[in-house]
Amino acid sequence: MPSQIENCFRALGESQRTAFMPFITAGDPDMGMTRALIRELSASGVDLIEVGFPYSDPIADGPVIQASYTRALEKQLHVRDIFAGISELDTQSLPPLVAMVSYAIIFRIGAEAFLSQAAQAGFSGMIVPDLPGDEAADFFQLVRAENLDLVQLVAPTTPRERVREILKSCSGFVYCIAVSGTTGVREEIAEELLAQLRWLREETDLPLCVGFGISRPEHIDPLRGLADGAIVGSGIVRHLESLADGDADRETVVKLIGNFAARMSAACHRE
């Protein structure tokens, strides 16, 4: 049976649209706000939503997302709180939700238990940035058994033979890191990324989605025809800083994020 993510990209492909996928942190400042943001993002026309599971030692996240994780963890957020909060949403009427979660969290709970709870809560897929390569194949089978997708990350610096191995345990889409380093807002799209996207087109039929550094509508045009989706993290999460600092109220922040997402969605969906 096709997964929700597969169905999403099939529909986008038929209409020749690029997917827009925003990232938000679960539990910053609480799960009530997270649910409000997911509903607002859905209403703003996004195609998928990446939900970050706060972790004390993320390997690829820049200062904006790290600060967001810290704010959530300081309030004693637990994985069970995330699953419980997401379960309160009618996920069948929402864009597919993709969990960005450290393997250390999954390992502590147990892979089968974690994946079962994730599927029951309403998640459609997993991105596990620190998944050990020698465990990817077995974990991939467990993910697929729950009819979830395991999205794998590749960078412009990843050796091509290594990429080919990664693709064997990948489904849903390929997360293409735009630049080497951590997440964060950047000024332009690197040529090395465009070259890798052209090569990946020859290597896999999976959709290619670009993240790390995508922050403005004008970043979308260079990707058109090469990438199937754009992922924005820091460009959205930074709006939560004003809430944490007391400079804005919840309703204002939700609307700011919704307006930004609507502009990015429009840029992605433009032919």
**pLDDT per position as a tens digit, 16-64:** 999 999 999 999 999 999 999 999 999 999 999 999 999 987 666 678 8
d(CA 152, CA 171): 8
Q: What angle do CA 12, 148, 226 make, to 5 degrees?
A: 35
- Domain-by-domain residue ranges, the chain? 4-269
The mean per-residue pLDDT over the stretch 148-162 comes to 93
Say if residue 29 is preceded by a cis peptide, omega within 30 of 0: yes
Phi/psi of residue 23, each to 5°? Answer: -110, 135
Counting DSSP H helices and E strands in the chain, the numbers are 12, 8
Which stretches of 142-228 are assigned E, i.e. beta strand?
149-154, 174-177, 208-211
pLDDT of residue 218: 86
The HSE-up count of residue 203 (CA atoms within 13 Å, CB side) is: 20
What's the chain's length in residues? 271
Query: For residues 190 and 179, what is the distance between their CA atoms, to the nearest angstrom?
Result: 7
- CATH number corresponding to 4-269: 3.20.20.70
Q: Could you identify the residue written with the tokens 């195609």? A: 47
Active-site residue numbers?
50, 61
174 DSSP β-pair partners = 152, 208
Is residue 190 predicted with pLDDT exceeding 80? Answer: no
Rounded Cα distance between 44 and 105, Å, is: 31
pTM of the prediction? Answer: 0.93
Tokens of 234: 């820091």
- Reduced to 3 states (helix: H, G, I; strand: E, B; else coil), residue 157 is coil
Asked whether residue 171 carries a pLDDT value surpassing 90, the answer given is yes
Which pLDDT does position 181 carry in this prediction?
44
- pLDDT for 180 equals 53
- Is residue 180 helix, strand or coil? coil
| 146 within 8 A of 126, measured Cβ to Cβ | no
Rounded CA-CA distance 231/129 in Å is 15
Amino acid identity for residue 119 in this structure = A
Mean pLDDT for all residues in the chain: 91
